[in-house]
A and B are shown apart, each in its own frame.
Chain A
Amino acid sequence: MTEAAVKSKDEVTPQVSGAPKAENALEARLAALPMPKGGWSADARSEALARLRDMGLPGPRDEYWRFTDPRPFNAPEAKPLPIADGASPLFTSRDKLTLVFVDGVFDAAASDDLTLEGVEISTLKGTHDDADHWAKGIFGALEAAGQKPAARPFAALNTVAAQDGLLIRVTGTPSKPIHVLHRRASDVADVVWHHVIRVEEGAEATFLETGTVGARSNGVIEADLAKGGRLHMIAAKRAADPKVGISHVFARVDEGAALKSFVLSVNGNVMRNEAVVDMVGDDAVCHVAAAVLGDQNIGPCHHDDTVFITHGALRGESRQVFKKVLKNGATGVFQGKILVKPGAQKTDGYQISQALLLDERSQFLAKPELEIYADDVACSHGSTTGAIDEDALFYLRSRGVPRERAIVFLVLSFLADALEEVEDEGIRDEINERLDAWLTERPQI
């Protein structure tokens, strides 16, 4: 957001009758959230509050919010959402360290023991009163760095008000993935969760996240990868509960380190997932991918992926692979940017965003961007929107595969490139099987 945009905040406030002025709207938003006071994170939180007051809440005319209405996130209170029956758990075949969060707060009794070789795990809430913490230089710092050049006010709001989250320091190669399982208890929970993950030099971990967070959720992950560190993040968000959610991943990737992130999202209500990655070291690798199934038949469906990858060093490799299957008037949004700074030579940047529209009422809005200030780079982007391939459909049906099943095959086929970004074959197969089951249960998605 530019300074001019901030100044014109009053003018761009949604013109809903009785809507408060922008500043009042922000204060009302803040007043409705419980604010942690004191503790090791106090400075980071008060700096975030100053940042937030400076930028204000976004209005529908903000360039960065052109395709997604920010009002569901601006509203002071979350709208109640009934809690659906528990979805069957994912990644069951896998030995993992499961940490349960209920309405965004860590539930030690329901979780595995936090001890795991190669990693130190604590919680934001549990350590709140400690005088100091290793996460102190990271919590709110990566978020602050990611506020330029585009403002992300909900991420600043998150730092201000984060209730709980994990503080994970990976020092070796833990034998199993760390799995966060979100559960709901209250139908109005407005959850603000914030994880900090520090991957030390040469360390490697897999981080899984499943379940539904709350009636509304605001999540931030700050991931700091030291030299040669590797982090695999896989989130699977099921749509048993339609919901309003925004999340941000802020990552700093140092020399030779690799971040791989994959998000599976089925339906949702209004979802915006942002990834802001700063590749600061030479030979850094960053892959971000998502597979989205959106059907507006069971409630409003608007799914926004906004990605900003900055290449700031030599020979960086980045890939963005976003695939959305949309039906019954669902809307998919993709805003993806690759910024190559001066001197970031031999950058290899790739971005693809594709939508499969299963009817004529659904839409896909894509804004791919490249901004390049180095002269020896290979960067490409592509964006397509299409329907089911009739040739392929006929081929499958001519072999006796019923139409509905053939469409499931073609949807899985469409999503395959995104799933390929999940390195672990076992996890990838399980996601694929689950997708297959979801699609088969509900051929309409």
Chain B
Amino acid sequence: MLKIENLHVKLEEEDKQILKGLSLEVPAGEVHAIMGPNGSGKSTLSYVLSGRDGYEVTDGDATLDGESLLDMEAEERAAAGLFLAFQYPVEIPGVGNMTFLRTAVNSQRKARGEEELSSAEFLKIVRERAKELQISPEMLKRPVNVGFSGGEKKRNEILQMAMLEPRMCIMDETDSGLDVDAMRLVSEGVNALRSPDRSFLVITHYQRLLNHIKPDVVHIMSNGRIIKSGGPELALEVEENGYGDLLAEAD
């Protein structure tokens, strides 16, 4: 599904290399986790994959179902089935959550040549899915993320994911700022979306999230590269011993 090969990325306006030959493959239906110390390039990877401006790919490629993502605009990547759950979801005053969601859903459908959802169809689906995530109708009416608590913002990200039905979901530190109950709710939302033709790349600092969202593969990232991959036990190892041994091993 997602294939990243020898990806080299630098900041556009600075001579600073952040990703230095990162390779990774997430097959359909699998959940992969990326862990790594601060500054290893995890968030940059999520931004580069989803098409944020300000980065320059100097080598390598990233493909979704064989098609290079790098030539596409951010919105085209979304329509192709890529989704990034933000670490810090952005507040947009004055734009209703529902209006935004419906525009997003229908823009993607239009881009893919599918029929747009009518107001009634959309409303029915969004109400159902919001209920599962314990998002109140009142929250749906509010401006995007404005006045939402940390947990509400993250649940709103999962609601967007549920509505957009992406095939490849990247989650950038979705657990940051969540209390135990919120983490459980968010994880349940994610688990409900797991399916044989949907994959996840979960970026996290803590093993705890991976107790809720069970990964098939754990990658350890350091200094712009994957230095080790393994099963869920790798996350437990990091939790216990920190990154020290792994980094020394890689050196």
Contact = CB atoms under 8 A, between A and B. Distances in A.
A111 B162 CA distance: 53
A400 B108 CA distance: 5
Nearest to A414: B94
Interface in B218-232: none
Interface string B62-79: 000000000001110111
A406 B73 CA distance: 13
Interface string A127-161: 00000000000000000000000000000000000
A391 B164 contact: no
Given A394-B52, A395-B86, A401 B94 contact: no
A405 interface: yes
B111 A390 contact: no
A399 B74 CA distance: 8
Interface string A396-416: 111111110110011011111
Contacts of A395: 86, 89-90, 92
A310 B94 CA distance: 31
B63 to A, nearest CB: 18
A397 B51 contact: yes
B107 interface: yes
A388 to B, nearest CB: 12
Interface string A414-432: 1111010000000000000
A409 B95 CA distance: 7
A109 B157 CA distance: 57
B53 interface: yes
B161 to A, nearest CB: 10
Interface residues of A, number: 25
B164 A400 contact: yes
Contact of B160 (A390, A399, A409, A413): A399
Contact of A412 (B51, B95, B164): B95
A416 B99 CA distance: 15
B44 interface: no
Contacts of B143: 413, 416
A400 B74 CA distance: 7
A399 B100 CA distance: 9
Contacts of A412: 94-95
A403 B76 CA distance: 10
A87 to B, nearest CB: 24
Given A400-B107, A413-B95, 14 more contacts: A394-B52, A397-B51, A398-B75, A399-B100, A399-B160, A400-B79, A400-B104, A401-B75, A402-B107, A403-B73, A406-B75, A414-B94, A416-B93, A419-B94
Contacts of B52: 394, 398
Nearest to A420: B94
